[in-house]
Structure 1
Amino acid sequence: MILTVTPNPSLDRTYEVPGLDRGEVVRASGERMDPGGKGVNVSRAVAAAGAPTLAVLPLGGAPGALVAELLDAQGIEVAPVPVAGQTRSNIALAEPDGTLTKINAPGPELSAAEAESLLSTVGAQSAGADWIACCGSLPRGLASSWYAELVARAHAAGARIALDTSGPALLAALRMRPDVVKPNAEELAEAVGRPLATVGDAVKAAEELREAGAVSVLASLGADGQLLVDATGSWFASAPVETVRSNVGAGDSSLAGFLIAGGAGPKALASAVAHGAAAVQLPGSAMPTPQDLRPDAVTLTAEIPLDRALKEPVG
């Protein structure tokens, strides 16, 4: 069972539009509404794969009630933490060429009591969990050390932690030795404080995160593929994508695929890439089912192309 923690969940509305003309009326050709937040998306991807999952998240107001209702409709068990503020609502505009414009609300400010309640709920629900996936930004009211405290408590209880966050929250949590961290290229560059122009730059940055405390690093490099760096070595994997419809939740689907396949080693990396490649070809934040996956299309190697320039270099 994979337990997910989403400190700042959302109600996500995605509209498919022919293009964006500022100041004009834009008519959508398609729309969907999904429960959102990185941890929520991981739970949705795990459930779509037919595996058990439990989502722990703070919920408030009518949007929070709708998030819980949508998750229940997808067969996902929810352990809600009631909060006084309203759960945020986000909007995404997807264009035919794959361009995605996102408008993310800040979310409610959690009180000290609500922050502690969220931590204690994770502890109470974590018995029997194979992994705890802690994902996304921290809402107002939670200190950057909140994830570090969660990792410490989870490890004390014998649980394994996968962490997908960025900035000060990631750096603070590294010293508590999370079992897996999953940055994208931009987050990886931010963590080490320098640009990434090649695959080799990304490998070096991932190694530095391990030196700072991460047990393993699963790094998403966008269209270039994904890296896995751990104590036993490094691997690089990629898969072809015919048409990008939306990248919302693709990284979360990758993390779900990684954890479903055991959360370690090249087999898990191949599963992560297959799930991510399938997700970007689906509308909105739809998560792939086993029928959407093409594991045979994944290319996996330990001979990493260090000098290959990234298609999307980051500064």
Structure 2
Amino acid sequence: MTVLTPNPAIDITYRVSRQRIGSTVRVLEVLRRAGGKGINVARVLRSLGIEVAAVQPLGGAAGEWIHTRLLAEGISAHSIPITEQTRSTVTVVDDVEHPTVLAEPGPHVPEEAWARLCERVRLTCHDGGILVISGSLPPGAAPTRISDLIAAGRGAGARVIVDVSGPALLAAAAAGADLLKPNAEEALQATGAQEVDAAIAQLLHAGARSIVLSQGRGGLLAVDSHGRRLHQGAVPDVTGNPTGAGDAATAGIAAAWARGAALPVALHWASLLGAAAVLRPSAGEIDLADLSSLAERLPTPPSTSPASSLPAPIPARPPQGPLAGPAAG
């Protein structure tokens, strides 16, 4: 599986007793990880035992650090060098307020590097494989860069999952992405719609083949180009750090596709992994030991019927691997 991160970062998490604007706040704990939405997805997939090719532009000492960390975590890193320094993001968390995220804009990625990223996607993808494109575009990048990356994956025979925002989300829809995975706010902002259903309809009309919409505690809503819908509830009463939960959910869908599971199971896995990520102190990680207890609290996906669900993304076969037990529930 190939996961492309257009704008990677060193993710720094500060844990404090209480966030206070305008005051000196003592940091209780500091965590540093290779990050960016796509790298978070890749890390969760690797935790599930899935081999991942992580493709990203990287620059400077920060970029070298990220590349080294990916290799140390057993993730195959395919990094395209750029001149400018890779960015950092800082997340401030406590046990009271919603986390505060300070995200640097990131470096400029030149034309030559975009061409090399597309070529690397073509080389790492394969017929019947999966490409995940996840995260913001770096400054100055045209939304059509997403279209180029989708075309590269498609040209290699891969199905493409895209989790981006803003004009890039519209470009991904127009390029016919197999699945878009925005959250509700991103879908509304990108389309200018006032209601979620109108935003979904606009993205499907633009050319997206299907959408899985994250709704936080409202769960996941899947809709295909024929208007067929399927809802998966969230695991109830899960508290912690929600940063990166959406990335873990994207990994759940990709893992299900890779193992031939039908969409109700894919949504079940996505909800389960999203909840597992909330329990961890930093984004882009899960603990497999949490899955069994979370699965006991997760609503069982509804049975498949033409009126209430989507077709399986690929021919179904029994799922295998760490998630097979919980997903079957």
Q: Give the TM-score normalised by the residue count of structure 2.
A: 0.85
Instruction: Tell me whether 1:244 sits opposite 2:239 in the alignment.
Output: yes
Counterpart Cα distance in 2 of 1:238 and 1:70? 34
User: Structure 1 residues 235, 8: CA separation in 2 closer, same or farther (over 3 Å shift)?
Assistant: same
> What is the CA distance between 1:204 and its match in structure 2?
4.6
> What is the CA distance between 1:218 and its match in structure 2?
0.7
Q: Which shifted more, 52-61 or 20-29? A: 20-29
- Within the candidate set 269, 290, 293, 1:292 is matched to 290
User: Structure 1 residues 97, 55: CA separation in 2 closer, same or farther (over 3 Å shift)?
Assistant: same
| One-letter code aligned to 2:219 | G
Counterpart Cα distance in 1 of 2:14 and 2:250? 25
Instruction: Tell me whether 1:143 sits opposite 2:142 in the alignment.
Output: yes
Instruction: Tell me whether 1:255 sits opposite 2:242 in the alignment.
Output: no
Counterpart Cα distance in 1 of 2:53 and 2:165? 23
- Within the candidate set 266, 269, 274, 2:267 is matched to 269
> What is the CA distance between 1:153 and its match in structure 2?
2.5
SS at match of 1:119: helix
Counterpart Cα distance in 2 of 1:111 and 1:256? 29
Q: CA-to-partner distance for each residue in 1:209-248, whole Å, 9 max, x for gaps?
A: 2222111101100111111112572111123343422111
SS at match of 1:24: coil
Instruction: Tell me whether 1:215 sits opposite 2:209 in the alignment.
Output: yes
1:13·1:90 contact (CA, 8 Å) conserved in 2?
yes
| One-letter code aligned to 2:295 | P
> What is the CA distance between 1:190 and its match in structure 2?
1.6
Could you say what the CA RMSD is over the residues aligned between the two structures, in angstroms?
Answer: 1.9
Q: Give the TM-score normalised by the residue count of structure 1.
A: 0.89
Query: Percent of pairs identical after alignment?
Result: 35
1:91·1:104 contact (CA, 8 Å) conserved in 2?
yes
> What is the CA distance between 1:174 and its match in structure 2?
1.3
> What is the CA distance between 1:128 and its match in structure 2?
6.0
Counterpart Cα distance in 1 of 2:87 and 2:284? 19
- Within the candidate set 230, 234, 242, 2:224 is matched to 230
| One-letter code aligned to 1:279 | A
| One-letter code aligned to 2:280 | L
Counterpart Cα distance in 2 of 1:237 and 1:203? 16
| One-letter code aligned to 2:256 | A
1:3·1:131 contact (CA, 8 Å) conserved in 2?
yes
1:115·1:142 contact (CA, 8 Å) conserved in 2?
no
1:90·1:102 contact (CA, 8 Å) conserved in 2?
yes
Counterpart Cα distance in 2 of 1:277 and 1:238? 11
> What is the CA distance between 1:266 and its match in structure 2?
1.0
SS at match of 1:29: strand
User: Structure 1 residues 241, 28: CA separation in 2 closer, same or farther (over 3 Å shift)?
Assistant: farther
Q: CA-to-partner distance for each residue in 1:66-87, whole Å, 9 max, x for gaps?
A: 1112212211110010110111
SS at match of 2:19: coil
Q: Which has the higher contact order (CA 8 A, sep 6+)?
A: 1
> What is the CA distance between 1:158 and its match in structure 2?
1.2
2:248·2:284 contact (CA, 8 Å) conserved in 1?
no
Counterpart Cα distance in 2 of 1:106 and 1:274? 31
2:93·2:99 contact (CA, 8 Å) conserved in 1?
yes
2:35·2:284 contact (CA, 8 Å) conserved in 1?
no
1:98·1:245 contact (CA, 8 Å) conserved in 2?
no
Counterpart Cα distance in 2 of 1:195 and 1:45? 33
Runs (4+) off by over 6 Å: none
1:46·1:53 contact (CA, 8 Å) conserved in 2?
yes
2:129·2:157 contact (CA, 8 Å) conserved in 1?
no
For 2:189, the equivalent position in structure 1 comes to: 190
Counterpart Cα distance in 2 of 1:112 and 1:11? 23
